[in-house]
Amino acid sequence: MSRKNLTNLPLVAAKESKHEEKARELLQPFFATHSTLASEQHYRKYYLKSESYFTVDGREAHLRNIIFRNDTTCVSQLRMNRSTFAKLCDLLRNIDKLKDTRHVTVEKMTAKFLHILAYHVKNRVIINKFMQSSETISRYFNLVLNGVIRLQSHLHKQPEAVSENSTDGRWKWFKNCLRALDGTYVSVTVPEVDKPRYRTRKNDIETNVLGVCSQYMQFIFVLPGWEGSAADSRVLRDAISRRHDLKVPRGFYYLVDAGYPNREGFLAPYRGQRYHLNDWRTGHQPTTPQEFFNIKHSSAKNVIE
């Protein structure tokens, strides 16, 4: 595209209302004298020096630079290293049967998907980064999103109970335990009208996410989406009552903190007793059976913290 063509681009491509058309006519002199000059200066300064970026080869080189340059760059841009990224692409390609298209590989689709999640990038921003239309970006984002959802059984760890003959110093005290469960808060951006529901006790706008993991910090179950004002016990009730629920076989249980009820399937610590590991790092030793239980409970459940 020449500079002449660039400066003659229409200011508004979409169909306008009468009010919008009138406003554009009133502002046209300002656009002509200021916006066009700024556009040409920006074009001269940046685009003429990097015009190869607008070619297919240039865009592919840009993507390769994001993913394959080194692990540091890959983690920075996609929040996972190159080996993990390759494994995810293999799962999507071999298990979910996601296929390359004529112009876009599975790797490229997945990289865009991860970059959007990592930085909460808006569609109108990402189209400039990857030089594709908003429709194309949305279509490939949803293809990968649906693929990841279908991979749930492969990405989530199946729970394994603590055996009777376990010698693990942290877990041998909790026979038949399926490991640990806890909630965490994740910052979100919501409409102004919804902010009261997402406001936490610390006055932050966040969502309450329930997570369950194994002794090796592998996720067993995740329930996102609850408002930050929701109590942990309310989120847990939803997790065990929904269609694809958190399953707890009879006779087994998960370790939970004092914010959850002590009920069948969920073992909480004693209230009113020292519990957190920091309470024991100053030389204190348990003096009652309840404190002894709490220190063992805290040590095991710390895997989910």
Q: Which residues of the chain have pLDDT under 50?
A: 1-16, 20, 22-24, 26-37, 39-40, 43-54
**pTM summary value:** 0.65
**How far apart (Å, rounded) are the C-alpha atoms in residues 229 and 185?**
10
Residue for token pair 């009208």: 193
**How far apart (Å, rounded) are the C-alpha atoms in residues 148 and 152?**
7
Instruction: Enumerate long-range contacts of 13-16, CB under 8 Å, 24 or more apart.
Output: none
> What is the tens place of the pLDDT at every residue in 249-272?
999 999 999 989 899 999 999 988
* Non-local CB neighbours of 269 within 8 Å, separated by 6+ positions: 257, 258, 275, 293, 294, 297, 298
**Which residues sit opposite 184 in a β-bridge?**
209
Ranges assigned E (strand) in the chain = 177-187, 206-213, 219-227, 253-255, 266-267
Q: Which two tokens stand for residue 302?
A: 């710390």
3-state SS, residue 212: strand
pLDDT value, residue 205? 95
pLDDT value, residue 248? 93
pLDDT value, residue 183? 94
Report yes or no: 252 and 178 within 8 Å, Cβ to Cβ: yes
DSSP conformation class of 65 = H
pLDDT value, residue 53? 43
DSSP conformation class of 163 = P
pLDDT value, residue 2? 43
* Non-local CB neighbours of 184 within 8 Å, separated by 6+ positions: 208, 209, 211
pLDDT value, residue 33? 44
Which residue in 254, 195, 182 sits closest to 229, CA to CA?
Answer: 195
Task: Give the pairing type, strands 177-187 and 206-213.
Answer: antiparallel
pLDDT value, residue 49? 44
